[in-house]
Structure 1
Amino acid sequence: MSQPAVPNPPDQPKFYRDPALVRWLGAAGVLAGGLVFAGYALGDGLTRWGRAERSVTVRGLAERDVTANLATWTISYSASATDLASAQASVDRDTREVRAFFQRLGFAERDLQPTGVNVAPFKDNGQSGFTVRQRMTLRSTDIARAQKAVRSQFDLVRHGVVIEEGSGMSFTFTRLDTIKPAMVAAATRDARASAQQFAKDSGARVGAIKKATQGYFSIAPRDGEEAGWGAGDTPYKRVRVVTTIDFYLE
């Protein structure tokens, strides 16, 4: 039984019969597609780059009132005499009075320690002599008791101890690490609020943080700097930090 005849395929156009031409057309198609994609990617990239360049730099402030937790009082006193033994004896007497003063106020013996002694010879109208200077330092975390000591310091004068200029109580806040994170967060919120106001005025929206710089923490007297001889420090402090933040604008 004979097979039915298969009709001859129609003649193909000449370019289908040219392998080199087919390869060239294929390459041209791939190149064209690549150029279209590259153009889209470039346009999208430029758009995103333009967005990235839109930013605003603002500062955020955070302040907090704190109470000092460490009191330090260095008391300096001296005595002069024509002989060293007499000068030293006078200073020793003053030292006993200083210790008794703080004991009466309820401080422990370990709270008061000698922190320096100095002996200096001198001549006055041809007369030689010696000046002995002693420094005692109180260090306590009992802030209320330390304030009472400052208010009572004239008792030392009544007992013959002449306190030299520059002797004063210093109050210090040493727990900065316990409030740093919360203060940085508060400063960041303050900076974002400023950025949002700027964005609102310019018809934009605040995005993510582009760059942030934490400022220096400062601790100063809450009620301003003390001035003048005899003016003592106070335990009431104000902690302050300023952060500088760049926000993206969308």
Structure 2
Amino acid sequence: MQDRQTWISAALLALGMIVAAVIVGSAIRDFRISDRYVEVKGFAEREVLADLAIWPIQYQLAGNTLDEIRSAMDSADEAVIAFLKLRGFSDNEISRTPPRINDQWIYASGAQRPDNRYTAERGITLRTTRVEATRSALEEAADLISQGVVLTPGWGHSAQFLFTGLEAIKPEMIAAATADARQAAAQFAADSEAKVGAIRAARQGFFSINERDPSTPEVKVVRVVTTIEYILQ
């Protein structure tokens, strides 16, 4: 009788172990299936035109007295403003920057003193949404030199062309990057004999805005990269 009870207990224990193994095995299998995922990157790119131009027109002045500097500054201001208005820009798009005046005689004496005691740098800034008109004005800026305006070195590279409409195109670009990522995931899944499931996690990268090339700074290239994890079924 005791042997029979021992045998029954052993059988029940073995059966319990088998059931537990089945349950645990099923849980491990389900865990592995749910843990199968692929991480891919999606890319989207779009060319856009700048919608804002900022052109600081800097020029230099020289004179022996402050009155001479002021007179030369007024003449240069008038020439630059007339140049811009001739090309259709309005007063609201033009602003003056404070002059920087340097006394060259402070640290020099006698023969070491330059001919002109004072030098100054002055600027007029054009801020406008008329990007193409600004590009044309840049190409014709040499006209200012012929009028006696001494432009500072590098004046031709000082203009900025900006794109401010990023928020309007963000949703479409994110959607395009997501579609690109899903296509990459689908290719991986096909190679793995699986199917692409739901998104497990997603990380949106930063948007970048750069010039397409140095010769056309008004043409911008907007890029975004997204990183997405898809569950594989």
Specify if TM > 0.5.
yes
Distance 1:141 1:44 in 2: 65
Residue identity (%): 38
RMSD: 2.2
1:165 is paired with a residue of what secondary structure?
Answer: coil
What TM-score comes out, normalization by structure 1 length? Answer: 0.77
Seen in structure 2, the aligned counterparts of structure 1 residues 146 and 126 have a Cα distance that, compared at 3 Å, is closer
Decide whether the 8 Å contact of 1:77 with 1:91 is kept in 2: no
Query: TM-score if structure 2 supplies the norm length?
Result: 0.83
Q: Which amino acid aligns with 1:241?
A: V
The correspondence of residues 196-207 of structure 1 with structure 2, limited to 5 A, is 196-207=186-197
Cα deviations by residue, 1:201-231 (Å, 9 ceiling, x for unpaired): 1222111111111111111112x2x2xxxxx
Give the C-alpha shift of residue 152 in structure 1: 1.5
SS in 2 for 1:74: strand
Equivalent pairs, count: 211
Greater relative contact order, per chain length (Cα 8 Å cut-off, separation 6+)? 2
- CA distance 1:48–1:166, shift in 2 (3 Å): farther
- Hey, what does 2:226 align to over in structure 1? 243
Question: How far did 1:185 drift?
Answer: 0.6
Q: 2:83 aligns with which of 82, 101, 105?
A: 101
Alpha-carbon offset, residue 43 of structure 1:
3.9
Structure 1 gaps, min length 5: 1-28, 227-231
**SS class of match (1:115):** strand
| Residue aligning to 2:3 | none
Q: Which residue of 1 aligns with 2:136?
A: 148
Q: How far is the alpha carbon of 1:104 from its aligned partner?
A: 0.7
Give the conservation status (yes or no) of the 8 Å contact 2:73–2:122: yes
2: CA distance between counterparts of 1:241 and 1:116? 40
Identify which of 112, 125, 131 aligns with 1:137. 125
* 116 and 43 in structure 1: CA distance in 2 versus 1, 3 angstrom threshold: farther
**Is 46-55 or 184-193 further displaced after alignment?**
46-55
- Quote the Cα distance in structure 2 between the aligned partners of 1:74 and 1:249: 55
Rg (Cα) greater in structure = 1
Equivalent position to 2:70, from 69, 74, 88: 88
5+ residue gaps, structure 2: 1-11
